[in-house]
Structures are given as structure tokens and as C-alpha cells.
Amino acid sequence: MTVTPWFLLVGGLLLVMGLTPSFIKRLPVTSAIIYLLIGLLVGPTLLNVFHFNPLRESALLEVLTEVAVLISLFAAGVKMPAPMRLERWRTPLLLASASMVLTVAMVAAFSHYVLGLPLGAAVLLGAIVAPTDPVLATDVQIRHPGDRDRLRFDLTCEAGMNDGSAFPFVMLGLGLLGLHDLGDFGLRWALVDVLWATVAGIAIGVVLGSALGRLGWTLRSRRFDHELMDDFLGLGLIGVVYGLSELVHAWGFLAVFFAAVSLRQTEVRLISARAANVEKGLAEHDPVATSGGGDPVPTVSEGSLIFKEHLERISELLLILLVGGSLFLDSWSWRAVSLALFLFLVARPLSVAIGLLGSRTPARVRGMVGWFGVRGIGSLYYLMYAIQHGLPEDVALELIHLTLIVITMSILVHGISVKPLIARFWRTS
């Protein structure tokens, strides 16, 4: 498939999606299913107009998925409600840590003992498919910064954090395959890949996000009119945080998510403090602090959110088309389908149930969280990352096959069930 048909296909889809958003929202399925079906139609599964080879184009696909995940993580982070409270963050923290480890372990055991993969490849596959996706899970994520729904918050926050918490297990799998230095008895892996990379990533994100929030607030609070380009600032923060994290070998995905969270939290605190001073007569009324109705006004986090969400939707369309165009009819092997079913029906629900033992999360919320573990672009990125780090071709082909079917089945089963289940959940809440 040459460049011209790609322009026609993607351009036509963008026109259709742009003209029919209200109609698409009323459909019982998600937009990702539409993109996937079109990819399957024009790909080798049906018409064979084009075939996208993930192994041959792994470098390109790594960059595309990396950018998509970063944008989605930022968008998720700035929608986190303020202020942060431990009791509210306890559930997603458990999901991104305990449940993540359990999912990796269960998938690795299934892949090793049932599918016959080498231990290193099995651990790597577990790390690839364990994290939930911040790109494809928009229908079960927080819609705006004021959204207080507990289920949406838990799923959004988990997706934001577990894209970073999965990385140590990716490195563990590569290490067991001889492609990464784990150190004696795994000491280097524990100290560098787990402890340092995680703590440093969170610290970089929190510090730089807070700094930008304070800087933007200071400039907007001046007596004279000072305009800011929020879209540029948001993209710039993503680039600086991610680049700095890579330089010091910290987890950049985790850093970007917490940078967005810190940016939002800092701006909300500053606005609330100024508004309180105005009410107490300690400062003159300031339109930067409150609007006429007392609502917060221009912030970098909210100003850049709409642009990021549009980029997120475009990347979703393009990448799901490529997934559909990568599959053949014989891709649907019993090995791949059984792995997906084990992940959706056993590993995810069981890991959530065990990880949240003793928490105060309502049983109904735990059940919904256990089902809506959407897999997608994040898994595709980890797979391409591993391939670019020297994964043997035979192992790479096997993991591509298994991962693509897991992603495809997730798009289908979660995309079909999300709207009716969420509607029923709200009716009975």
C-alpha cells in the first residue's frame, strides 16, 4: 500500500469521525472497534490491500506508540481530581503494584508451563500484556478534571501508573534472555531498574510539574496581560520530563504522568489560596484567581488538555488501523486466544481481587475494575521496545503473534461490553 491510499484512508476516516461524533457516541461499541474492523477489512485478513509488518517496522512503531502513550499519560494526569488524598489513591496504588506483580507472575507461569515459552520470554510477555492502557480505555476513564466518579478515577490512575511499574519486569524478562544486565542475584535489577528508576521518575515528574505550575501562575498573576501558549507548555513539559528521565535512567512514563498530576495539583492549590485571600480581604480581587462564578480560570493543565486529547484520538485511529492490518486469518491460533482468555477471565480478575484484599473498595467497583483491564497501545510499545533491544527473531515473532491477538480481543470484548456495563453500573449506584 503506497502513501496515497494511506492519505485517502486516514483522511476519510478523520472526516467521518469528525462529522459524526454524536452518532458514534450512541453506538453500543467504542470507536476503537470501528478502526480495528476497517484495518481487518483492508489488511491481509480480508481484502489484503496492505500488510503492516510489526517486526520489520518495529523502530517506527516504537516511536509512534511511545508518543501516543506519553500524550495519553499526560492527559490522564491533568484530569486527576485535586487535592490528592492517600485514602483515594490507595486503590490505584495497590492495582499498579500488587495486582501488577500478580498479573505478570500468572501470565508468565501460563506462558511458560502451558504455551512452552522460555522463562525469560514468558516473563517478558507477562510484562507486555499486564499493564492496562491509557490510550484505548478512554470510555472508562475520567472525562474531565471535575469528574468524581470512583470507578473512572481508579482505572485512570492505575493506567497512568502501571505503564511505569511494568517497565522493571520488561527489563527482568530481557535480562533472563541475556539482553540486559541484572547483576549478581538480580541486585542491579532491584536497585537500579526497580528502586532508582521508579523513585527518580516520580521525583522528576513531581518537581518539574510543580515548577511549571508555579511559573505559569506567576506569569499570569502579573499586573500586565501575559499570554501563555498552554499547548506548547504541555508538550514541552512532556519532552523535558521524558528526556531528563531517559538521561538518568528513570522510568519516563511514570515521570510524565506524575508531572501532569503535579502540574494540576499545584495550579489548583495556588488558585484556591488566592481565592481564599480575596474572600478574606487579604488581597484585591484577581481575575486570575477566580472567574465571576468563583470557578478556576486559565491554567496550563486545562489549557493544554483539549489539544492533547485530539492528538490522542488521532494516534488511536492510526495505531489500531495498523494492528488490524497486521493480522492474518491464521493469527487466531489456540495459543493466542487461550492466552487472551486466561488474562481477561483469570489473571486480571484474580490479581485485582487479591491486590485489593483488605482495602475499602466496594465489591461492585472491584468487579468492574477486574473486568476493564483494557490492553492496547502500551503493550504494543513494550513489545517494540524489546524487539529494538535485540530480541531474537523467533521469540519476537512469537510475542508479536500473541500480543496482537491479546490487544485485538481486548478491543473487541471490552469495546462491546464497556457501554452497557458502565450504564448498568451507574443505574445501580
Examine residue 208 and state whether it is found in any structural domain, yes or no: yes
Domain span at residue 407 reads 3-133+149-428
Residue 411 sits in a domain of what CATH number? Answer: 1.20.1530.20
Q: What is the pTM of this model?
A: 0.91
Quick check: is 114 in a domain? yes
- Section 269-291 average pLDDT: 63
| Residue 168 in domain | yes
In a domain, 139, yes or no: no
Please report whether residue 138 resides in a domain. no
Burial grade of 286 (CB within 10 A; 0-12, 13-18, 19 or more): middle
Closest of 409, 379, 348 to residue 103, by C-alpha = 348
Instruction: Look up residue 421 and give its three cell numbers.
Output: 456495563
Residue 144 lies in a domain: no
The single-letter DSSP state of residue 144 is S
157: in domain: yes
Letter string b/e over residues 243-264, b meaning 16 or more CB atoms within 10 A of that residue's CB: ebbeeeebbbbbbbbbbbbbbb
Give tens-digit pLDDT for 16-75.
888 988 888 888 888 899 999 999 999 999 999 888 999 999 999 999 999 999 999 998
Per the structure, the count of domains in the chain is 1
pLDDT in tens, 327-377: 999 999 999 999 999 999 999 999 999 999 978 888 888 999 999 888 889
In a domain, 142, yes or no: no
- b (16+ CB within 10 A) / e for 5-28: eeeebeeebeeebeeeeeeeeeee
